[in-house]
């Protein structure tokens, strides 16, 4: 496998504190990686920093982000802009933020192509290409969609249009921030299916962040679990879902609603505040397996297999 994105020891934050702390993971070519964690754990902050779309007061404080052989933290704005929309595309939680309500869908496709395509493409060629892409995404009446404004389409349709738009220049990597959380469950699965197909048809790599373990279980190859700005467990989907090692990962899995009527189990307590520095494990105040040292020192990585690791004192001791 060939590495497309290599994030190493990434720290992101603002002048007062660090939000994302020493995060390391890789996305291989054609792979779908999902980062899960509860609201406020730093998922969007991490994702946006990859293509320098962070809020004004937030910046990369340390670490590397390598995309192919480019070091993204060192690229100037002009080069980054050329990369965004062409090689790396971002999909947001609310498709409305990606689509302009005042411009017809077909013209927005053309805007994307005009600014980012490697070669000159005519309006007519772009229309045909957009149509083919929308057909692949299971739209029936592609002419109608292309001639619509985004407010004339449903939320699920808009998200699939946003996906098609992200795909029009055949990027190598899609960064997706909660791409399905604004959608109802049946439309969620359509969007998930579409994303899985993108990988199958085009070999596109996807890095997705979400708080929804169910979505992750349906579509990713690798799961990273984030807590308090840190990755606390990383492994293949099967390893993490079948052999979760971090108490927080287990709690997240127990919190998945089941169809058998049993109540999902919540996680007591609240996440740590970013403005206070913590010497020990970020999960210690909520953990049921607490040891003395959990409060005092950050656990080192414990490798369960060569690709599955966890940040937990209990596992280090085994």
Ligand X SMILES: Nc1ncnc2c1ncn2[C@@H]1O[C@H](COP(=O)(O)OP(=O)(O)OP(=O)(O)O)[C@@H](O)[C@H]1O
**What is the 8-class DSSP label of residue 272?**
P
Closest by CA position to 34, among listed 202, 316, 245, 252: 252
Nearer to Mg ion, 44 or 314 (CB): 44
Contact footprint for ligand X (CB under 6 A): 14, 19, 37, 39-45, 55, 57-58, 211, 274
Q: Return the number of other C-beta atoms located less than 10 Å from residue 275's C-beta.
A: 10
Q: Residue 62 binds what, of ligand X, Mg ion, none (CB under 5 to 8 Å, by partner type)?
A: none
**Least spacing, CB of residue 4 vs ligand X, in Å:** 22
Tokens of 136: 């692949």
**Least spacing, CB of residue 274 vs ligand X, in Å:** 5
Handedness of CA 293, 295, 301, 303 (dihedral sign): positive
Q: Which residue has the tokens 């390893």?
A: 239
Nearer to Mg ion, 43 or 84 (CB): 43
**Least spacing, CB of residue 69 vs ligand X, in Å:** 28
**Least spacing, CB of residue 117 vs Mg ion, in Å:** 30
Task: Taking each helix axis as running N to C, give the angle between helix 155-167 and helix 105-116, from 0 to 180 degrees, rounded to the nearest 10.
Answer: 20
Tokens of 219: 């579509």
Nearer to Mg ion, 38 or 170 (CB): 38
The answer to whether the beta carbons of residues 313 and 294 sit under 8 Å apart is yes
Q: Residue 55 binds what, of Mg ion, ligand X, none (CB under 5 to 8 Å, by partner type)?
A: ligand X
Our finding on whether 204 is near Mg ion (CB under 5 A) is no
Our finding on whether 130 is near Mg ion (CB under 5 A) is no
Nearer to Mg ion, 6 or 212 (CB): 212
**Dist. CA 217–CA 242, nearest whole Å:** 11
Nearer to Mg ion, 44 or 188 (CB): 44
Site for Mg ion in 35-54 (CB under 5 A): 44
Nearer to ligand X, 57 or 76 (CB): 57
**Least spacing, CB of residue 295 vs Mg ion, in Å:** 28
**Least spacing, CB of residue 91 vs Mg ion, in Å:** 13
Instruction: Give the nearest residue (CB) to Mg ion.
Output: 44
Our finding on whether 314 is near Mg ion (CB under 5 A) is no
Q: Residue 248 binds what, of Mg ion, ligand X, none (CB under 5 to 8 Å, by partner type)?
A: none
Tokens of 188: 């969620």
Task: Taking each helix axis as running N to C, give the angle between helix 123-136 and helix 105-116, from 0 to 180 degrees, rounded to the nearest 10.
Answer: 110
Burial class (CB in 10 A: 0-12, 13-18, 19+), 201: exposed
**Dist. CA 240–CA 262, nearest whole Å:** 22
- Which residues of the shown chain bind Mg ion in the complex (CB under 5 A)? 44
């Amino acid at each position: 496998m060939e590495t497309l994105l290599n994030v190493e020891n990434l720290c992101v934050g603002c002048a007062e504190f660090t939000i994302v702390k020493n995060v390391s993971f890789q996305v291989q070519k054609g792979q779908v990686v999902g980062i899960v964690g509860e609201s406020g754990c730093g998922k969007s902050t991490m994702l946006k920093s990859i293509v320098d779309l962070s809020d004004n007061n937030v910046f990369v404080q340390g670490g590397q982000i390598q995309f192919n052989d480019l070091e993204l933290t060192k690229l100037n704005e002009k080069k980054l802009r050329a990369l965004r929309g062409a090689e790396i595309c971002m999909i947001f939680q609310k498709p409305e933020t990606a689509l302009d309500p005042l411009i017809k869908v077909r013209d927005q496709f053309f805007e994307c192509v005009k600014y980012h395509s490697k070669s000159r493409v005519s309006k007519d060629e772009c229309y045909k290409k957009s149509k083919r892409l929308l057909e692949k995404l299971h739209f029936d009446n592609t002419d109608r969609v292309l001639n619509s404004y985004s407010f004339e389409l449903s939320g699920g349709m808009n998200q699939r249009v946003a996906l098609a738009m992200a795909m029009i220049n055949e990027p190598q990597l899609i960064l997706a921030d909660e791409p399905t959380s604004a959608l109802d469950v049946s439309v969620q699965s359509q969007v998930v299916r579409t994303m899985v197909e993108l990988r199958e048809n085009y070999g596109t790599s996807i890095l997705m962040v979400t708080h929804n373990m169910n979505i992750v279980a349906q579509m990713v190859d690798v799961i990273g679990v984030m807590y308090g700005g840190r990755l606390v467990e990383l492994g293949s989907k099967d390893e993490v879902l079948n052999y979760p090692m971090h108490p927080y990962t287990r709690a997240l899995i127990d919190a998945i609603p089941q169809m058998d009527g049993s109540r999902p189990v919540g996680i007591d307590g609240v996440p740590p505040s970013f403005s206070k520095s913590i010497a020990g494990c970020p999960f210690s105040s909520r953990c049921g397996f607490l040891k003395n040292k959990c409060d005092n020192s950050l656990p080192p990585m414990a490798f369960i297999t060569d690709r599955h690791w966890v940040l937990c004192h209990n596992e280090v001791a085994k």
